[in-house]
Structure 1
């Protein structure tokens, strides 16, 4: 069954729902939060809300509860998640970049319009490229296309997407000799890759969070790197510790 898609307005700042962010454990210096909650550890249904912190340091809800879908395997704490389980990692993560098959709708995060050459590598036999964007399938690459997502192959889900910085590699650079992106501090190849906030496909995801396309566009154009946005994700019983 297809995920429900509804149009949602980003509302003027109001104190509604402001208490929840104050109860969260790892928001740090974020002034924008997206909060994803589910009913249980096994549920594939979720709810998304968004909050911003005003000049008075009070959190205000700017996006009321909208339906979302998560992984077909439910939730798992990020450190314990494993590749190919279909579980959505529970925890708090930064949001620093975005991409999409469609043109930039006005994102303030760095936005990359992808085409048929672009991949997201997830080859657990090649740690240095694991969980990285690849601009093409170089003939000299060390990762396998069979273990990567060709992003343009998902025009509905990846119409627009924000990268959730789960299991993020560090020291990412371009290796001109191999024609590929590599990381000096690779991601953990056990945990999984390509976890995004993206537009709705059909039903549950492989670990990502999906929302209706209008909601996705509104969130994408709202997120501001100057506000150091984060996403907090967990079933409701564990959200305060996420």
Structure 2
């Protein structure tokens, strides 16, 4: 901080012969207004300057030193209602995730939403509305076995589709085959015909990247298989996930093999882990 004393000249000895001249000079000064020492910079401006810096230069330094506004931290969005264990099971390479959430461990009612991560800075964003869905008659299980009438909980790849009809406009591998037929009645007496008009194979106990009709079961036949996403017939399934016809068409039109899509499926409590 500047002090008034900093503007005074240092004391020095005055020769005797100069006293008269100095007296005359002081007398002349009495006839003018008294000149006060400059106020300290902190008094004039309310701020403190760096020693030896005054005026506009000090103002510039203060402006440069003033802290700017802090930008809010924007974190990438996570898929809601998924716990850390479930999120960790989603491959880092996956850019599309179909989340199928069961109402309860023993319920056959679910909902499904497709999410995409096209911009890592933004994170996961929904690209569809919430769709109604069915799962297996007895609900869900962490250890699926043939005939238990439960859908397997977990994160599984989606690598191949198929159906009785030509697919909608899609980049997804698709096997159009007359073998995609089913008949009879479901658990609620509903007709099953048309359920396999469009299917997407879930890579549970199957070889990824081959037609859904492939019979191989790497974990053994006793661990079940043939778990698909297919057209809803209005009732529970034996282990598959079913969606309304128009939602199946939308799913096939949206799935992109380059985005390494997966399905995250299970009852709500299990997915929160």
With normalisation by structure 1, the TM-score equals 0.69
CA contact under 8 A between 2:82 and 2:271: conserved in structure 1? no
Aligned counterpart, 1:35 = 99
Give the distance between the partners of 2:214 and 2:177, measured in 1 at CA: 16
Aligned structure 1 segments of 4 or more residues deviating by more than 3 angstroms: 15-23, 169-172, 180-183
Of 50, 54, 70 in structure 1, the residue corresponding to residue 118 of structure 2 is 54
Length, aligned pairs only: 184
Q: Does 21-30 or 208-217 show the bigger shift?
A: 21-30
Aligned counterpart, 2:239 = 207
Give the distance between the partners of 2:215 and 2:267, measured in 1 at CA: 34
Structure 1 portions without partners, runs of 5+: 1-14, 119-150, 173-179
Deviation (angstroms), 1:202: 2.9
Aligned counterpart, 1:159 = 197
Aligned counterpart, 2:228 = 196
Q: Secondary structure at the match of 1:197?
A: strand
CA RMSD of aligned residues (A): 2.7
CA contact under 8 A between 2:181 and 2:194: conserved in structure 1? no
> Compared with structure 1, are the counterparts of its residues 21 and 40 closer, same or farther at alpha carbon in structure 2 (3 Å cutoff)?
closer
CA contact under 8 A between 1:16 and 1:61: conserved in structure 2? no
With normalisation by structure 2, the TM-score equals 0.61
Deviation (angstroms), 1:46: 0.3
Give the distance between the partners of 1:68 and 1:213, measured in 2 at CA: 11
> Compared with structure 1, are the counterparts of its residues 219 and 22 closer, same or farther at alpha carbon in structure 2 (3 Å cutoff)?
farther
Structure 2 portions without partners, runs of 5+: 1-75, 184-192
> Compared with structure 1, are the counterparts of its residues 99 and 76 closer, same or farther at alpha carbon in structure 2 (3 Å cutoff)?
same
> Compared with structure 1, are the counterparts of its residues 102 and 52 closer, same or farther at alpha carbon in structure 2 (3 Å cutoff)?
same
Q: Which has the higher contact order (CA 8 A, sep 6+)?
A: 1
Considering only CA atoms, is the larger Rg found in Structure 1 or Structure 2?
2
Residue 85 (1) aligns with residue 148 (2):
yes
Structure with the higher helix share, 1 or 2: 2
